[in-house]
Amino acid sequence: MRMVVKIAGALLERDEDVQLVARQIAELARARHEMLIVHGGGKIFTATLARMGISSRFISGLRVTDRETRDAAVMVFAGLLNKKLAGAISLAGQPAVGISASDAACFLAEPMQIEDCEGGLGFVGYLTEVNVDFLRSLWREGIVPVASCMGLGADGELYNINADHMAAAAAEFIRADRLIFLTDVAGVLDGEKVLRAVRGTDIEDLSRRNKVSGGMILKLEAAKRALAGGVSEVRIVGGTKPRALLSAASAGRCPGTRVLPVIRPATRAAHGAAQ
Ligand SMILES: Nc1ncnc2c1ncn2[C@@H]1O[C@H](COP(=O)(O)OP(=O)(O)OP(=O)(O)O)[C@@H](O)[C@H]1O
Ligand SMILES: [Mg+2]
C-alpha cells in the first residue's frame, strides 16, 4: 500500500514517542509499504522563535512568515526535527532519509495569497508538485523518505507549508491509498468521546458549534480535500499509544477517527490550488 503518514510536532518532543513512532514506520516499510512521512513541529518552532526573540502571528491558523522566520523554519523543520525523525527510523532498522523541498526539487510550492491580509503571509506557500520519480527511487531501495513541510518556489525561495496541507496535497500528488494523521489526541473528540467517523459535510457544523477548533479544523479540511482528490481512506489517530500507527495502517477498524468523503470520490482535482 502507498501511504502518507503525517506526524504531529508534539510527537517529536519526547524521545520515547519518537522511537515508538519510528519503530512502527520501520516495520511498515519492511513490509514493503511505500511510505512518505511528513512531519509538523509548530509548537517546537514557536518556542524556538520565542528564544530568538521573534514573536509568532497567525492568520486563519497559518503562520505569518517573514524572511527571518522562514530562515529559522528551515533550521528547525528541515534541520533539527527532520534529522531527528529520519535518524530514529534508521536506528529502528530501516534506512530513512530526511528530505526537504530543495533536495531533487522534491516539493514545489507557490506563494499563498489570502484576502484581507495586509502585507500578505510572507513565505507561506501551497504544494504544487511532487517529484514522484525521486520518491520511487527511494522506495525501490527500501528507503523511507521523511519530508519537512516546505516547498521550493520558482523564485528559488523556500516556502513554509502547513504540515497538514502538505501531507494531504502530497497524498493526492503521489496517489496514495491512505493518509494517516498521527496526532497528540486520540482522534477527533466530542468532549471525552472519540468520534469514530466524521463526514466532510459535518466539519463546518462541528466548527460552528465549537466542537472542533484550532489545528483540528485545518486537519479536517485537509482530510476532506485529500478525499475529494482521490485518496480513498483518511484516518486521524492518537500517536502515543503503542501500535497505533500499525493498526491505523491495517485493514482493521480505525483506532481513531475516519474522515469520510462528502460524496463518492470521483476525479482527482487540482488539490494544491484549493489551498
Ligand atoms: N474536537 C477536537 N478533537 C480533538 N482535538 C481538537 C479538537 N478541537 C481542537 N482540538 C485541538 O487540535 C489539536 C491537534 O491539532 P494540532 O495542530 O495542535 O496538532 P497536529 O496538527 O497533530 O500537529 P502539528 O500542528 O504539530 O503538525 C489537539 O491537540 C487539540 O488541542
Ligand atoms: Mg496542526
pLDDT averaged over the chain?
A: 93
For residue 33, the CA-to-ligand 2 centroid distance in Å is: 25
- What are the residues whose beta carbons fall under 8 Å from the beta carbon of 256, sequence distance 6 or more? 186, 187, 188, 194, 235, 236, 237, 238, 244, 248
Q: Whose CA is nearest to atom 12 of ligand 1?
A: 216
Nearest-atom number in ligand 1 for the CA of 43 is: 26
- What are the residues whose beta carbons fall under 8 Å from the beta carbon of 83, sequence distance 6 or more? 98
Identify whether the C-beta of residue 124 lies closer than 8 Å to the C-beta of residue 62.
Answer: yes
What does the angle CA 228 – CA 163 – CA 41 come to, to the nearest 5 degrees? Answer: 155
Testing ligand 1's pocket by substitution, the residue of 146, 162, 164, 184 carrying the most ligand atoms inside 8 A of its CB is 184
Cell triple for residue 231? Answer: 485518496
Ligand 1 pocket member 8 (CB < 6 A): yes
- pLDDT mean over 40-63: 90
List strands edge to edge, sheet with 178-183. 96-99, 144-148, 34-39, 2-7, 178-183, 233-238, 257-260, 197-199
CA distance 82 to 32: 22
Output the pTM of the full model: 0.93
Testing ligand 1's pocket by substitution, the residue of 13, 198, 216, 240 carrying the most ligand atoms inside 8 A of its CB is 216
For residue 219, the CA-to-ligand 2 centroid distance in Å is: 7
Amino acid at 268: R
- Three-class SS state of 265: coil
143 half-sphere exposure, CB direction, 13 A CA radius:
16
For residue 141, the CA-to-ligand 1 centroid distance in Å is: 34
Ligand 1 pocket member 41 (CB < 6 A): yes
Element (H, E) at 35: strand 34-39
Tell which residue, 43, 129, 134, has the closest CA to residue 97: 134
Nearest-atom number in ligand 1 for the CA of 188 is: 3
CA distance 147 to 24: 17
For residue 8, the model assigns a pLDDT of: 97
For residue 237, the CA-to-ligand 1 centroid distance in Å is: 11
For residue 275, the model assigns a pLDDT of: 36
Tell which residue, 34, 21, 159, has the closest CA to residue 100: 159
- pLDDT band with cut points at 50, 70 and 90 for residue 268: low
Q: How many other C-beta atoms lie within 10 A of the C-beta of residue 11?
A: 21
For residue 264, the model assigns a pLDDT of: 58
Nearest-atom number in ligand 1 for the CA of 184 is: 29
* Confidence check: pLDDT of 17 > 50: yes
Q: Which ligand is nearest to the CA of 185?
A: 1
The predicted-structure confidence for 163-212, as pLDDT tens digits, reads as follows 999 999 999 999 999 999 999 999 999 999 999 999 988 999 999 999 99
- pLDDT band with cut points at 50, 70 and 90 for residue 120: confident
In this structure, the strands spanning 158-160 and 150-152 are antiparallel
- What are the residues whose beta carbons fall under 8 Å from the beta carbon of 14, sequence distance 6 or more? none
Tell which residue, 166, 174, 178, has the closest CA to residue 39: 166
The predicted-structure confidence for 204-244, as pLDDT tens digits, reads as follows 999 999 999 988 999 999 999 999 999 999 999 999 999 99
- Three-class SS state of 27: helix
Q: Tell me, what DSSP letter sits at residue 176?
A: -
- pLDDT mean over 119-129: 92
Ligand 1 pocket member 199 (CB < 6 A): no
Nearest-atom number in ligand 1 for the CA of 216 is: 12
Q: Whose CA is nearest to atom 17 of ligand 1?
A: 215
